[in-house]
Amino acid sequence: MKSFNYERASAPEGAIHAGAAKGAKFLAGGTNLVDLMKYGIESPSTLVDINHLELKQVVANPDGGVIIDALVRNSDLADHPLIKTQYPLLSQALLSGASPQLRNMATTGGNLMQRTRCYYFTDVNFPACNKRAPGSGCAAIKGYNRIHAVLGQTDKGSTSGESCIATNPSDMNVAMAALGAKIEVEGPKGKRTISFADFHKLPGATPWIETALRPDELIIAVTLPPAKFAKNAYYLKARDRNSYAFALISVAAGLEMDGDTIKSAGLALGGVAHKPWRNLEAEKALAGKATSPEVFRRAAEIMLRDAKGYEHNTFKIEMAKQGVVRALTLASLGTSETQGTSEGTQA
């Protein structure tokens, strides 16, 4: 590990000031950043420890929604009464992620910002990775790409400086995308609000730029709009073991029901793209329809339209479709108490 400066911030202003230094990084739970520092992938000049900021509340928003502070731990968020009752989709997604120990450390802001698990990104001994070393190429395209993207990736060949087929590994983000969250940030130039859809970016021609957050901006909070899907929500996660594994594919499905008819839907996929994958067309195709396997299947087809697989991950396309149908079906049957626990998501 390289040497670095350590600063502990006690207020957001101080954190933002310290974070403006060249090469500075915010340290939240550290469960992603510290690993990447040990692997030699991140080498911040200064670590600005934000764990002491008073940004640890979950509160009802006067607009009917909820405000989640950036330093709320994943386990606290999942267990918060407001979230459990109003936004069970988010609770389920959080509980399906990582392990209890990690969730006790991981924060809302850190989870939003966690980086890809692409093997070629996390091992500096692979020479080609545009995200880690811009312009070096993408080893994943001709490599072992089972955990990689099938939607929205940039593939101009393994040697192109623009290519990247990595995925965003977060579960929380998938639920927040389906819920239509917004992100409140603050930097030296002031505050702004970023919609969830704009926060994470597709690789485009600059795979090393992952979010709309500027390096000197601090995430203050995530806001959720008034809850629509409390009664009909399901987070489905297919993975290689029953806990403590990243999603092969995941589906966040929320339905606003009127009898058997879908009034509105929130739908997002994880494990398939560089960002939580949302397609408003699929949500529109569900709205106003009576629930049926055909309707769900059509939404699944729209979600996976133009998907392109690689040697080891083509299965994700069909698996994601099956997952969408299953998640929508279960959501339509009503949110159940056990969902999000290992019994709930498993047979």
Partner 1 sequence: MMADTAPTPAKQLDHRYEGIAKVTGKAKYAAEFSQPFPKANLAYAYIVQSTIPNGTIASVDRYAADLAPGVIAILTPFNAPKLAQGPPQPPARRNLSLLQDKDVHYNGQPIAVVVAKSLNEAKAAARLLTIKYVTKPAQVSFRERPGDARWPKNPGKEPAGNHRGDVQAGFAKSAVVIEQTYVTPIQHHNPMEPHATIAWWEGEKLNVYDATQYISGVKMSLAKTLDIPVDYVRVINPVVGGGFGSKGSMWSHVPLCAMAAKATGRPVKLVLEREQMFGPVGGRPSTVNKIKLGASADGKLLAMQHDVIMNASAMEDFTEHSAGPTKNLYMSESNSVTEKVVEVNLGVSTFMRAPGEAPGTAALEIAMDELAEKLKMDPVQFRLVNYAENDPSHDRPWTDKHLRECYSQAAERFGWSKRSATPGSVTEGNALIGYGMATATYPANRSAAQAVVRMLPGGRMFVGSGTQDLGTGTYTIMAQQAASGLGIDPSLVEVKLGDSTLPKAPVSGGSQSSASVLPAIQDATTQLKLKLADLAIADIASPLHGLKTLDIEIKEGKLFNKNNPSQADSLADLIARNGNKPVEAMGSAEPSESKDSMTSTSWGAVFAEVAVDKDTHMVKVRRVVGTYDIGTLLNKKTGLNQLVGGIVWSISFALHEEAHIDPVYGRVVNESLAEYHVPVNADIGAIDVTVLNIPDIKFNPIGSRGIGEIGITGAAAAVANAIYNATGKRVREYPITPDKIMAARGLA
Ligand X SMILES: Cc1cc2nc3c(=O)[nH]c(=O)nc-3n(C[C@H](O)[C@H](O)[C@H](O)COP(=O)(O)OP(=O)(O)OC[C@H]3O[C@@H](n4cnc5c(N)ncnc54)[C@H](O)[C@@H]3O)c2cc1C
Chain positions contacting ligand SF4, by CB under 6 A:
116, 118, 120-121, 129-131, 138-140, 164-166, 207
The amino acid present at 193, given as its one-letter code, is T
Q: Which of ligand X, ligand SF4, partner 1, none interacts with 70 (beta carbon under 5 to 8 A by kind)? A: ligand X
How do 24-27 and 46-49 pair as beta strands? parallel
Strands (E), the chain: 5-8, 24-27, 46-49, 58-60, 66-69, 182-187, 190-195, 218-224, 233-238, 249-258, 261-270
Q: How far apart are the first and last CA of the chain?
A: 44
* Nearer CB in complex with ligand SF4: 10/159: 159
The amino acid present at 329, given as its one-letter code, is T
For residues 270 and 178, is the Cβ–Cβ distance under 8 A? no
Instruction: List interacting residues with ligand X (CB under 6 A).
Output: 25-33, 50, 70, 97-98, 102, 105-107, 109-111, 113-114, 169-172, 218-219, 246
Q: Which of ligand SF4, ligand X, partner 1, none interacts with 156 (beta carbon under 5 to 8 A by kind)? A: none
* Nearer CB in complex with ligand X: 221/331: 221
For the chain, give the longest Cα–Cα distance.
Answer: 61
CB of 298: closest distance to ligand X in angstroms?
29
Query: Per rule CB under 8 A, is residue 144 in the interface with partner 1?
Result: yes
Contact with partner 1 (CB under 8 A) among 8, 17, 56, 146: 146
Q: Which of ligand SF4, partner 1, ligand X, none interacts with 328 (beta carbon under 5 to 8 A by kind)? A: none
Burial class (CB in 10 A: 0-12, 13-18, 19+), 12: middle
Q: Which of partner 1, ligand SF4, ligand X, none interacts with 27 (beta carbon under 5 to 8 A by kind)? A: ligand X
Query: Per rule CB under 8 A, is residue 244 in the interface with partner 1?
Result: yes
CB of 310: closest distance to ligand SF4 in angstroms?
10
CB of 233: closest distance to partner 1 in angstroms?
17
Sheet holding 249-258, edge to edge: 233-238, 249-258, 261-270
Instruction: Name the residue whose CB lies closest to ligand X.
Output: 110
Q: Which of ligand X, partner 1, ligand SF4, none interacts with 174 (beta carbon under 5 to 8 A by kind)? A: none
Please state, in angstroms and as integers, the Cα–Cα distance from residue 122 to each residue in 127, 140, 168, 247, 258, following that order: 11, 12, 14, 17, 47
Which is nearest to 196 in space by CA: 169, 221, 215? 221
> How many residues sit close enough to partner 1 to count as binding (CB under 8 A)?
39
Please identify, among the stretches 45-53, 64-72, 118-126, 172-180, the one whose residues bind partner 1 according to the rule CB under 8 A.
Answer: 118-126
Q: Which two tokens stand for residue 99?
A: 């392990």
Which is nearest to 250 in space by CA: 276, 231, 232? 276
Per CB under 8 A, residues contacting partner 1 are 1-2, 40, 99, 117, 119-120, 123, 125-127, 139, 142-144, 146, 236-245, 248, 315-316, 318-319, 322-323, 325-326, 342, 345-347
